[in-house]
């Protein structure tokens, strides 16, 4: 796990640069593919060094797309970037704290057998359930990854305009009293169409789909 965490943070910036070029949806697919390769190594190569390589590769896949997802969401919610990050990271934290104990209780070690006091290892019966757990994890990632890919939209200026009731920037000039200069700043004005939008239109808006995808991105990360 330390190796996995190391590669996660190492590939955050590099993954974001690559993700900006290939697009957010392809980034999700590449990240999931890297994770699936690491799972295949864990399942079919029972060797310590193979496991070590698999965990490093899992870290690459986990770190590859993290910033790309967030940067794409920031463009849709420029004034709520902290809230968006909180939703993504909150989904990751909640799923880890809830699903990990459940997986241990129902799949890996339902009998609550303790590890050996001298070696720190569990018996063979517990160890043999790990491949089953990894298989279930693969299926879960496939389902959540498909949902995330479908409901994650690349940012578009058109989608962020009048059609979805988003704010529209308007430039206004302000005179700087101290320097005597005129500067421009962007001011967000609420579009009248947003006020008159129906509940159905709001529910099926691109922003609503984005919020839905953030939760699944957080689940996929964990």
Domain-wise residue ranges, the chain: 2-154+211-221, 162-203
Q: Residue holding tokens 């241990």? A: 104
Tokens of 183: 């500067």
**Lowest mean per-residue pLDDT among 85-99, 152-166, 171-185:** 171-185
What average pLDDT does range 79-101 have in this prediction?
Answer: 83
Q: Is the dihedral of CA 111, 117, 118, 120 positive or negative?
A: positive
Number of H helices, E strands in the chain: 9, 2
So what's the pLDDT on residue 164? 43
- Contacting residues for 177 by C-beta, under 8 A, at least 6 apart: none
Q: Residue holding tokens 């693969």? A: 138
Choose among 125, 101, 103, 102: nearest CA to 113.
125
- Contacting residues for 86 by C-beta, under 8 A, at least 6 apart: none
Range 19-27, long-range pairs (CB < 8 A, 24+ positions): 19/64, 19/65, 19/67, 19/68, 19/71, 20/68, 20/71, 23/154, 24/65, 24/68, 24/69, 24/72, 24/152, 24/154, 25/149, 25/152, 25/154, 27/64, 27/65, 27/68, 27/69
What average pLDDT does range 58-82 have in this prediction?
Answer: 84
DSSP 162-208: GGGT--EEEEEEEE-TTT--EEEEEEEE--HHHHT--HHHHHTSHHH
pLDDT tier, 196 (very low <50, low <70, confident <90, very high otherwise) = very low
pLDDT at 49 over 80: yes
pLDDT tier, 175 (very low <50, low <70, confident <90, very high otherwise) = very low
**Lowest mean per-residue pLDDT among 5-14, 166-175, 209-218:** 166-175
DSSP 8-state class, residue 47: -
d(CA 103, CA 132) in angstroms, rounded, equals 11
d(CA 21, CA 148) in angstroms, rounded, equals 19
In which element (H, E) is residue 160 found?
none
pTM, to two decimals: 0.65
């Amino acid at each position: 796990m330390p190796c996995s965490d190391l590669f996660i943070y190492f590939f955050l910036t590099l993954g974001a640069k690559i993700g900006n070029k290939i697009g957010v949806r392809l980034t999700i697919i590449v990240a999931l593919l890297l994770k699936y390769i690491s799972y295949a190594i864990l399942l079919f190569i029972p060797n310590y060094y193979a496991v070590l390589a698999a965990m490093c590769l899992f870290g690459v896949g986990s770190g590859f797309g993290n910033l790309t997802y967030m940067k794409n969401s920031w463009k849709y919610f420029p004034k709520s970037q902290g809230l968006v990050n909180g939703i993504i990271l909150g989904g990751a934290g909640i799923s880890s704290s809830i699903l990990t104990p459940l997986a241990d209780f129902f799949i890996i070690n339902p009998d609550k057998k303790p590890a050996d006091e001298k070696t720190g290892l569990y018996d063979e019966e517990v160890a043999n359930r790990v491949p089953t757990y990894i298989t279930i994890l693969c299926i879960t990632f496939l389902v959540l990854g498909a949902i995330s890919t479908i409901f994650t939209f690349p940012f578009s200026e058109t989608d962020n305009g009048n059609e979805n009731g988003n704010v529209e920037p308007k430039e206004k000039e302000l005179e700087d009293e101290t320097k005597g200069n005129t500067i421009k700043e962007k001011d967000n004005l609420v579009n009248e169409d947003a006020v008159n939008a129906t509940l159905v239109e709001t529910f099926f808006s691109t922003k609503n789909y984005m919020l839905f995808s953030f939760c699944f991105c957080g689940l996929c990360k964990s």
